[in-house]
Amino acid sequence: MNTLVTVEVEGISKWYGEAQVLKNCSCTVREQEIVVICGPSGSGKSTLIKTINGLEVVQEGDIRIRNQSILNKGTNLSSLRASVGMVFQHFELFPHLTILQNLTIAQRVVLKRDVTTATKKAKALLEKVGMAVHQDKYPSQLSGGQQQRVAIARSLCMDPFLMLFDEPTSALDPEMVSEVLEVMRDLANEGMTMMVVTHEMGFARNIADRVIFMENGSIVDNTDTASFFGDKSSERAQLFLSKILQH
């Protein structure tokens, strides 16, 4: 197992006004590890994953990415974010730009790549996610599954060393889920470090190295996949699993 640590979350807490949505959460993710985060709705999964690239601020604790604290004022958040990819539940492609422009814009303005380089990179990644023929369309002309594959490619254009996914398949029609999961599986096989919030237990069981189970803002379980799906996980997690596996 790779022992280099990519993400270190240390005792973070977050409040929205009076309501505490993250309670003293800690976890680490090692290089090339695939970690799935699951738990009931409102348990704080999205909030946790968004704190990792600083989209949500925390009031307590520390987050280090490759040994660099993101809460440290001296850290350049923009360049850090550029090398941490994020995939959203609702894709968040930029609707006023074509697919190709969606993939090149950040390469050009953030990484300062020239048009030729950026376009070449974009085309290669569109090829990889099977979307090359659609490069001149606008996002609204694609199906949900296609949009999500483009969104993944958009993140990959930035050459990230870590990919964050927040329920990447939960806004998709069932028949499109597998095309997105396939892209994610390929990515995992290539050795990408990934944190994935998802309810797809099949994906978790087959791909994940570790599963984190959250409830009410706390991390309740943090174990290797086999133990989580065996009987070593908490009662709460067992109950959660039995509920979602019933369907």
Partner 1 sequence: MIDTDIIAEALPLLLKGLKVTAFVAAVGIPLGLLVGTLLAYLTLVGNTALKWFARSYIECVRNVPFLIIVYFAYFGLPKMGLMTDAFQVAVLTTGFYTAGYFSELMRAAILSVPKGQMQAAVSLGMGYWRAQRLIIFPQLLGFLIPPTTSLVVMMFKDTAIFSVITLPELTYQSNVVVSESFAYIEILGTTALIYWVSSWFIDFAGNRFNRYALRWKARP
The answer to the question of residue 43 lying near Mg ion (CB under 5 A) is: no
The answer to the question of residue 57 lying near partner 1 (CB under 8 A) is: no
The answer to the question of residue 21 lying near ligand ATP (CB under 6 A) is: yes
CB contact burial 30-52 (16+ within 10 A = b; e otherwise)? bbbbbbbbbbbeebbbbbbbbbb
Q: Which of 107/148 has CB closer to Mg ion? A: 148
Which residues in the 37-96 window bind ligand ATP by CB under 6 A? 41-47
The answer to the question of residue 51 lying near Mg ion (CB under 5 A) is: no
154 binds, options Mg ion, ligand ATP, partner 1, none, Cβ within 5 to 8 A by partner type: partner 1
Query: Tokens representing 171?
Result: 């806004």
The answer to the question of residue 46 lying near Mg ion (CB under 5 A) is: yes
Q: How far is the CB of 170 from ligand ATP (least distance, A)?
A: 8
82 binds, options Mg ion, partner 1, ligand ATP, none, Cβ within 5 to 8 A by partner type: partner 1
The answer to the question of residue 59 lying near partner 1 (CB under 8 A) is: no
CA 36 vs CA 54, 97, 246: distances in Å:
19, 32, 20
47 binds, options ligand ATP, partner 1, Mg ion, none, Cβ within 5 to 8 A by partner type: ligand ATP
CB contact burial 173-183 (16+ within 10 A = b; e otherwise)? eeebbbbbbeb
The answer to the question of residue 88 lying near partner 1 (CB under 8 A) is: yes
Q: Site for partner 1 (CB under 8 A): which residue of 135, 147, 148, 155?
A: 155
The answer to the question of residue 112 lying near partner 1 (CB under 8 A) is: no
The answer to the question of residue 232 lying near partner 1 (CB under 8 A) is: no
Q: Binding residues for ligand ATP, per CB under 6 A?
A: 16, 19, 21, 41-47
- Binding stretches for partner 1 (CB under 8 A): 50, 53, 55, 78-86, 88, 90, 92-97, 105-106, 109-111, 138, 140-141, 154-155, 158
